Structures are given as C-alpha cells and as structure tokens.
Amino acid sequence: MPALLKNHPFAVEAFFKSSIVVAYAFPPKELRPLVPPFLELDVFDERFAFVAVAMVQTRDLRPKGFPRFLGSDFFLIGYRVFVRFTDANGKRSRGLYILGSRTDSSRMELFGNIFTQYNYSTINIEHTEENGMITIGSKDENFLLKCEPADDECLLPNGTPFSSWNEARRFAGPLPFTFTYLQAENKLLVVEGVRENWTPRPVNVIDHRFTFVEAIGRGNGVLANAFIVENVPYYWKKGRLEMIPH
C-alpha cells in the first residue's frame, strides 16, 4: 500500500504566485546517462539538450476540490530534463524527467514523499524582491539567482543556442507531463499538469549559480533562457502508469 500511495493517487491543485524557470543547454551525451533509455532527449538543432531549474512560489496546494484554507504555502525548486516519451501505441508526449526536488517546508517534504515519487528534501530558501530585482538563493545547496522581469527586446543570455525569445519559449517549461521511472516495476509514472493564464515573460539574468546543475556531466551547461509566469491556477491529474515499450 505505501508504494501505491507514492504514485500520485489523487489530483492536486494549487496557485502559482510566480514560477521562474531557467534552462541550461548541454551536449546531449552529457544528459543521456541521467534518463532511462526508453526516454528520448528533447533536443534543439540536434546539438543541445536541456536541464530546467523551476523555482515556484506555491500557494494553497491541496487535493483537488478541497477548500483553499486546507492548502499549504511553500517554495519549490525542481530539477528536470526535457524529454519525449513514445508509448506502446506510438503516441508521443513531451515532458520533464525528474532529477530532484527541493522545498523550504518540512511538511511538504513529509507529505510530498508519501504521495509522490519526486523525492523532496527540505533546504533553506531565501526569496526577496526589491526595486524589480528578484533574488532566490539557498546556503544549504549553494545556489543563487538574481534576475529582473524584462520583455522580448532584452538580450538572450551569452552562449545560448537560441536566436530569438520565440525559439527559446519551446524550452520555457513546465511542460504538460512529468515522468518518473519505477525501475522495480519497469513502468513509467506519468503525471499531467493543467494550467491557465500561462504567458511566459523573459527575465534578464544578472547572476546565477546552481551547484546541482554544475555537477552534471562535465559541467558544460550554458544558460539558455529564463522566463517568469505569475498568478497561474494549476492542477495535476492523478498519476497513471505506462508500460515500457519493448
């Protein structure tokens, strides 16, 4: 029974006060060992694969249909790889493969690890906004992001593989699906997210450092894009299990 509970047994809803997602481009060979062989890396220009870092101010998270006052507020950090999955019927889905999840709430760690496979851990997360500058950091995990909302006229990050913000939006995250491989059962757990008012806006990154990302492969990740969305109603459907195609 405990194993079944971890497979997202019910729908969950929340409100994203803000969600900032930064994506790092890597040579595909450096990300290939991080995902199961039946998942395809979602690549750009055949030369770049991507890791996303999502930093989400979450409000009123609760089982879908429950009153808002029963919800919880906290900060979430998620590390994900952009991937594609082809099921046994040949249907293709684009989504994110879970690498790691962090929160500033021990309550979220407890219940998140009972009802999901996301393997949450609690760290300190400091988040401030002053004069348009957004700063998010953690001494526990040694990461830092300083950025400010911008528009499509702002410059793309140095070294990005993208030639325009329209190109970069393809890898703005989050995508409709998240995937977790249940190796003992040889099945894929698929969770579908449903969102409203999803309009990503570029942010101008002033400073960034994520030791989790720097430790991947040979540390050759390059900041590719950074976006923010605000005031988004969001919910996740009940998880479903997919057989692994032969």
The 10s digit of each residue's pLDDT in 163-175 is 999 999 999 877 8
Q: Which residues contact 218 (CB under 8 A, 6 or more apart)?
A: 30
The identity of residue 175, as a single letter, is L
Lowest mean pLDDT among 16-20, 132-136, 155-159, 195-199: 195-199
Q: Is the pLDDT of residue 1 over 50?
A: no
Q: How far is CA 227 from CA 100, 171, 201, in A?
A: 20, 10, 5
Quick one: pLDDT at residue 177?
Answer: 95
Q: What CATH architecture is 2-243?
A: Beta Barrel (2.40)
Q: Report the DSSP pairing between strands 72-86 and 177-182.
A: unpaired
Q: Which residues contact 26 (CB under 8 A, 6 or more apart)?
A: 48, 49, 50, 51, 216, 217, 220, 221, 222
What mean pLDDT is predicted for residues 189-209?
A: 93
Q: What's the longest Cα–Cα distance across the chain?
A: 54
pLDDT band with cut points at 50, 70 and 90 for residue 197 = confident
Q: Where are the alpha helices (DSSP H) in 19-174?
A: 28-31, 106-115, 165-168
Per the CB < 8 A criterion, the answer to whether 217 and 138 are in contact is no
Quick one: pLDDT at residue 233?
Answer: 95
Provide the sign of the torsion angle of the four alpha carbons 159, 230, 78, 242, taken in this order. negative
Q: Residue 110 corresponds to which tokens in the numbers above?
A: 């407890």
First to last CA, the chain: 28
Question: What percent of the chain stands above pLDDT 90?
Answer: 87
Q: How far is CA 47 from CA 25, 42, 43, 63, 214, in A?
A: 9, 10, 7, 40, 19
- Collapsing DSSP to helix, strand or coil, 137 comes out as strand
Using CA atoms, how far apart are residues 34 and 25, in angstroms rounded to an integer? Answer: 14
Beta strands in the chain (DSSP E): 12-26, 40-41, 49-63, 72-86, 92-103, 120-122, 126-130, 133-138, 143-149, 177-182, 187-195, 201-210, 222-236, 240-243
Quick one: pLDDT at residue 245?
Answer: 81
pLDDT band with cut points at 50, 70 and 90 for residue 126 = very high
Per the CB < 8 A criterion, the answer to whether 180 and 117 are in contact is yes
- pTM for the whole thing? 0.94
Ordered by start, the domain boundaries in the chain are 2-243
pLDDT averaged over every residue in the chain: 94
pLDDT in tens, 37-84: 999 999 999 999 999 999 999 999 999 999 999 999 999 999 999 999
